[in-house]
Chain A
């Protein structure tokens, strides 16, 4: 493992909540009769202002869009929602600012009014402080220059006050007065220096206090071990001292029917990938049978959702020594692949073959992929004969896209609904004022899921698409998971993402 990769792996543990290195929220869904794409740009600080944009994805003339971030507190009334303003030159795009005042899970209530009546949708958004912006050299230089000017000015003012402020106009200060003024200036310089020293201490106190509130996921560790004839991967949450999100201490709730989604990505070449659903050994230990992955070091990511609606990605690393001869999955939804990717040669269509002989084509368009811009993540599955394949829901969704930057700085688990967790969305929808006892909402949620599991409609024509924008430039690998004929199929692609033009 290179030093650079090792550093990146260490950084993962510090900068993850839902997803890694991808703080913005992308959602695609319907507010009543209006199909929408909602993007929330993460402010990185709490309290902070998040920019939200709402695009109406149908040629409907919408009259009004309002947004309201709701933090769950049954004792309080929500404030008035904010009117999103229409972006000039684009009749379907609306924008507003979200005031996220406390760390934790918010649901943003997006309401649309138009000719088809009112429509509402809840978009889960996590508010966590993730960074402390550095003071850039130009601003630091400007502030230092102004500071020196103010300090020198203040000392000069003291001198002027003592030397001549009380003299009659025209009178010149005498020698003793000038000496007194110099003494006063020296004394004031000392006093100002002490005040500045105190101010620096104050600043440091604020800075230290803020850094303590920066989001830190609980530490997790992963290990591979043999038990009987099977090889198991175990993920254990080592400590519960995560910071920055008071609501994360609530119990876990199932997302797509599973308490945890565990992903393994081979570290050196990204040559192998697994998506598993471990079973709970106890409240902090999860275990799954390991598929016959090639030996090597693996990045391990675990997606969990708390009852508070807060979605989190835990991360660790694990070494796989020798591949398992036989594999009996712990869960029928477990899947893995060591297929080589269909390379991104800049062509508009990239096609790769799937295990059952069908193909998956990424219709990526002719334009290069650029960080921060909506990425064309549309995939079409075709049968051997070239006809569009009929897809089945996999974990309740038309498809899952997992992508990771080669150095591990970005890891994202996407659905056609975007980056949000559907379990979070459901938790916000089902909340009631009486849900003040931990576990109440989770139980109701589990009952509802048991009676009516969430299954998103699978679009026709073997098409699955994902709303997303790559957060950073670099080389990425994409694993697109779909289900066909009862088999889980994974298409593997590579992508080169360019930095935005400055």
Chain B
């Protein structure tokens, strides 16, 4: 099926009421707050160990939920009970209420986050404090945060697609790409074991995981954000967010507060250096420009290109990250949890015998990348059409 993503942009549409842009900005701040909070929280657990309900990292996550849920809840009420028929008509129906689709996603996300709180509290009382990051209540919390981030993206997309001027459209397009960058960050956080540490850079799983999770977002951004280099912008956002957090977190003093302490560190442990996604993203942007409307061909070529470029770049770059030259503030490598027993494994590639990158594994990665890219093209086309 061929979908012309930009079609609706040309149709004469009334200018979006200005407030929607304001709400898009608020939810963008909320989404950023949740992502920053999660990166901070992971660093907190790796450096200090123990936490309370009120750690700054947790507060950043809650702030995201409150901002998104509160502002979008108000937007829904405002849209539903607006005296202006235009404003009411700019929303989708939901149980008798009206509001922009992205706003509903944010409200749902905030409610999921609220629901996870009493469940998580009971969970700690029933099964003990968290030893694993992924538990059912944490998954619900993560779903809530993702919903808020996606809702913010779709609100920005609605603003973009209904923008009256090129300038406004470009500004909203930048917001869409930025929020796609946050989704890439989410995928990287989720896969910290698989694609986080440079030590995994010569494993099959590294490329298979990356091929599965990154192309869907890159292609969705590429087709959904109206910019010259949308996928590249999203990838750059992901990398800059990661780098800023790496640089800032290293500056904060921290002392482990849970036994056993095998690595008596003095500062917060930053996240590993990000994957150089900008490189495959540039190629994906070039392909998107050259293949308008040819969804399957685009997905196929983008999948192959993604794995090829990623392999070429990361195979060498991860080796560099393990070398002494990379052990600087700028790269932020060689920082390990307080519970790690330090050893030569820090500078070695892991699981190269048990999980080597074979031609078969590369084939699997390409197939995953193509499927992921096709899903991304579909999502991007829909994003480009969102109008309310």
Contacts and interface: CB of A to CB of B under 8 A. Distances in A.
B127 A156 contact: no
Given A76-B259, A156-B95, A146 B128 contact: no
Contact of B387 (A139, A143, A146, A165): A165
Interface string B107-147: 01001101100110010111111010001100100000000
Interface stretch (A46-54, A433-441, A485-493): A46-54
Interface in A34-83: 45-49, 69-71, 73, 75-80, 82
Interface in A206-238: 206-207, 210
Interface stretch (B58-66, B250-258, B367-375): B250-258
Contacts of B385: 166
A168 B8 contact: yes
B101 A153 contact: no
A89 interface: no
A133 B125 contact: yes
Nearest to A136: B122
Contact of A143 (B108, B118, B139, B260): B118
Contacts of A70: 259
A168 B188 CA distance: 35
B387 A168 contact: yes
A325 interface: no
A457 interface: no
B341 A164 contact: no
Given A133-B122, A146-B115, A150-B111, A49 B129 contact: yes
Interface residues of A, number: 50
A149 interface: yes
A69 B111 CA distance: 38
Contacts of B81: none
B261 interface: yes
Contact of B122 (A46, A135, A165): A135
A79 B276 CA distance: 37
Contact of A133 (B126, B258, B259, B388): B126
A244 to B, nearest CB: 12
Contacts of A167: 387-388
A contacts with B: majority SS: mixed
A157 B104 contact: yes
Contact of A45 (B93, B108, B127): B127
B162 interface: yes
Given A142-B118, A164-B92, A150 B128 contact: no
Contacts of B125: 45, 133
A170 interface: yes
Given A133-B126, A147-B115, A157-B104, A78 B259 contact: yes
Contacts of B166: none
Nearest to A129: B128
Contacts of B95: 156
A443 interface: no
A154 interface: yes
A160 B111 contact: no
Contacts of B131: 47
Contacts of A154: 108
Contact of A79 (B11, B258, B386, B387): B258
Nearest to B48: A79
A361 B257 CA distance: 48
A7 interface: no
Contacts of A146: 111, 114-115
A132 interface: yes
B142 to A, nearest CB: 13
Contacts of A206: 127, 135-136
Contact of B108 (A48, A142, A153): A153
Contacts of B108: 150, 153-154, 157
Contacts of B128: 45-48, 129, 210
Contacts of A135: 122, 126
Interface in A166-193: 166-170
A284 interface: no
Nearest to A132: B126
B209 interface: no
A175 to B, nearest CB: 16
B101 A165 contact: yes
Greatest chain B CB density within 10 A among A79, A133, A156 is at A79
Interface string B70-106: 0000000000000001100110111100000100110
Interface string B245-276: 00000000001111111101000000000000
B89 A160 contact: no
Interface in B159-214: 162
A199 interface: yes
Contacts of B11: 168
A159 B8 CA distance: 21
B14 interface: yes
A367 to B, nearest CB: 32
Greatest chain A CB density within 10 A among B8, B49, B50 is at B50
Interface of B: 8, 11, 13-14, 49-50, 85-86, 89-90, 92-95, 101, 104-105, 108, 111-112, 114-115, 118-119, 122, 124-129, 131, 135-136, 139, 154, 162, 255-262, 264, 341, 382, 385-388
Interface of A: 45-49, 69-71, 73, 75-80, 82, 99, 101, 129, 132-135, 139, 142-143, 146-147, 149-150, 153-154, 156-157, 160-161, 163-170, 199, 202-203, 206-207, 210
17 contacts: A45-B126, A47-B128, A75-B260, A75-B262, A76-B262, A77-B261, A79-B259, A99-B129, A143-B115, A143-B119, A157-B105, A160-B94, A161-B92, A165-B101, A167-B387, A167-B388, A169-B162
Given A77-B262, A78-B259, 13 more contacts: A45-B124, A45-B125, A70-B259, A79-B49, A79-B258, A99-B129, A143-B119, A160-B92, A164-B92, A168-B387, A169-B13, A169-B86, A169-B162
10 tightest A-B CB contacts, nearest first = A76-B260, A170-B89, A45-B128, A166-B385, A47-B129, A160-B92, A146-B115, A169-B90, A133-B126, A165-B101
